[in-house]
Amino acid sequence: MTRPAKVELDLGALRNNLQVVRKAAPAARVWSVVKANAYGHGLAHVWSTMRATDGFAMLNIEEAILLREAGWKGPVLMLEGFFSADELPLFDQYRLTTSVHSNWQLKALAEARLKAPLDIYLKINSGMNRLGFAPSRVAVIYQQLRRISNVGEITLMAHFADADKPDGVDQAMTRIELAAGEIDAPRSLANSAATLWHPHTQHQWVRPGIILYGASPSGNWQDIANTGLKPVMTFNSAIIGVQNLMPGERVGYGSRFQAPREMRIGIVAAGYADGYPRCAPDSTPVAVEGVMSGTVGMVSMDMLAVDLTPCPQAGIGSPVELWGNLVKIDAVAQAAGTVGYELMCAKAPRVPVVVKH
C-alpha cells in the first residue's frame, strides 16, 4: 500500500494568481520568479501553466535550459547572473538575460566571444547589501556597459528588504533614484510585496515570486486574504495509527507533550524527512477530516501526532491537511518560527506530487 503523504498542486490557482498580479500591476510586464525549482513546486510541473507571463526569472542555468528545451521562447532572466565567464557561451546559446552586479562580470562580458549581444540587468545595491553596485557608481557602470559590444538592452534592477512594511521602500527608493539619476532605461524593482503594496515601484517590469504560489510575502496570510490569491500547494497525508492516552502520558521523542486529560491522538504519515518542520511546536495547526486541530509532541522523521479531540469521529485512514486551503502555509511557518518560502522549498523528493489542472 502506498504511503499516504503527498503534495497536490492546483494549477488553476496558479493561473488565478498570475491574473491577480496583472491586475495589481496593469501597466508592467511580469517576470514570474521560478527560482528554487519554482519555490519547491517543480518547474517542470508548473511552467506551462504560466505561459501567460512575459518572462521567467531564476538562478540555475540548468533550469533555464529546461525551459528552453521545453519550448519557452520568451525572456529568461538569471537573477544572480553568470557565476563564471565559462558560462557565457551557454547564456549566448540559450539567449538568457543576465544580471550584472560585480566588476569581474564587466570584464568577462567585454572579453567574451558571443554570437549576439545579451540583454543586461544592472543591479543597484538599494541598501540590502547583498549584490549590486553602490548608487554612486551606477552611472559610470552604465556607461561602461554601453561601450561593450556584447551588451544589448540595459535595465536597471534593484530589490527591497522591507517592502512588506508600509514605509519599507522609502529609503531604498531614495538610493535607487540617486543611482538612476538621468539614466534613460527601463526599471525592474518590485518584488511580491512591492507589487501588492507599493504601486509606485512597479515601473516597466515587476518580479513576483511567493504570491504566485499563494502565500504572503509578509508571512501573514491575513495580509493577502482579500487579494484573491489562492494556495497552489497542498500537503496531505492520513492517520495510520491511533493512541488513547491517560492523563500524564507523554508523546514523541523527548516526551515533550504530556496529556492533560484522557485524549485520543492520531499518528500521521508525515515528518521532517518529507519537509514538515521538525521545530513545529505543540498546537501547530492541522486539519483532520476538514476540522481544525493541532499537533502534539515532537515531529519525527516519518511521523507526527495530532490531537483528535475536536474530531472524535476520526480514525485510521482519516485525511489530514498539513497545509493548503484550510491550513495556510503561513500559519504553519509562523508556528515553526520560519516563513512559507522555506516550507515550500523543503518538500522532500520522496513525497509524490499530484497535479490538478
Distances (CA, A) of 262 to 43, 249, 307: 46, 9, 11
272 is catalytic: no
pLDDT, position 272: 98
Is residue 203's pLDDT more than 80?
A: yes
- Span 242-262, average pLDDT: 97
pLDDT, position 196: 98
The type of residue at 302 is D
Is residue 191's pLDDT more than 70?
A: yes
Distances (CA, A) of 187 to 2, 50, 196: 50, 22, 17
What are the cell numbers at 312?
472524535
What are the cell numbers at 247?
492523563
**Structure confidence at residue 291 as a pLDDT band (50, 70, 90):** very high
- Span 8-13, average pLDDT: 98
What is the average pLDDT value for the chain, to the nearest integer?
A: 97
* Residue extents of the structural domains in the chain: 11-215, 233-356
Dump pLDDT digits (tens) for 212-230: 999 999 999 999 999 999 9
Superfamily of domain 11-215: Alanine racemase (3.20.20.10)
The CB density around residue 248, as the number of other CB atoms within 10 Å, is: 9
Dump pLDDT digits (tens) for 97-156: 999 999 999 999 999 999 999 999 999 999 999 999 999 999 999 999 999 999 999 999
Per annotation, catalytic residue among 39, 123, 253, 276: 253
pLDDT, position 213: 98
Dump pLDDT digits (tens) for 48-107: 999 999 999 999 999 999 999 999 999 999 999 999 999 999 999 999 999 999 999 999
- Span 45-49, average pLDDT: 97
Q: Would you say 336 and 284 are in contact if contact means Cβ atoms under 8 Å apart? A: yes
pLDDT, position 76: 98
Per annotation, catalytic residue among 6, 35, 328, 347: 35
Is residue 200's pLDDT more than 80?
A: yes
CATH architecture of 233-356: Beta Barrel (2.40)
Full-model pTM = 0.95
% of the chain exceeding 90 in pLDDT: 99
Whether 11-215 shares its CATH topology with 233-356 is answered no
The type of residue at 354 is V
328 is catalytic: no
Is residue 1's pLDDT more than 70?
A: no
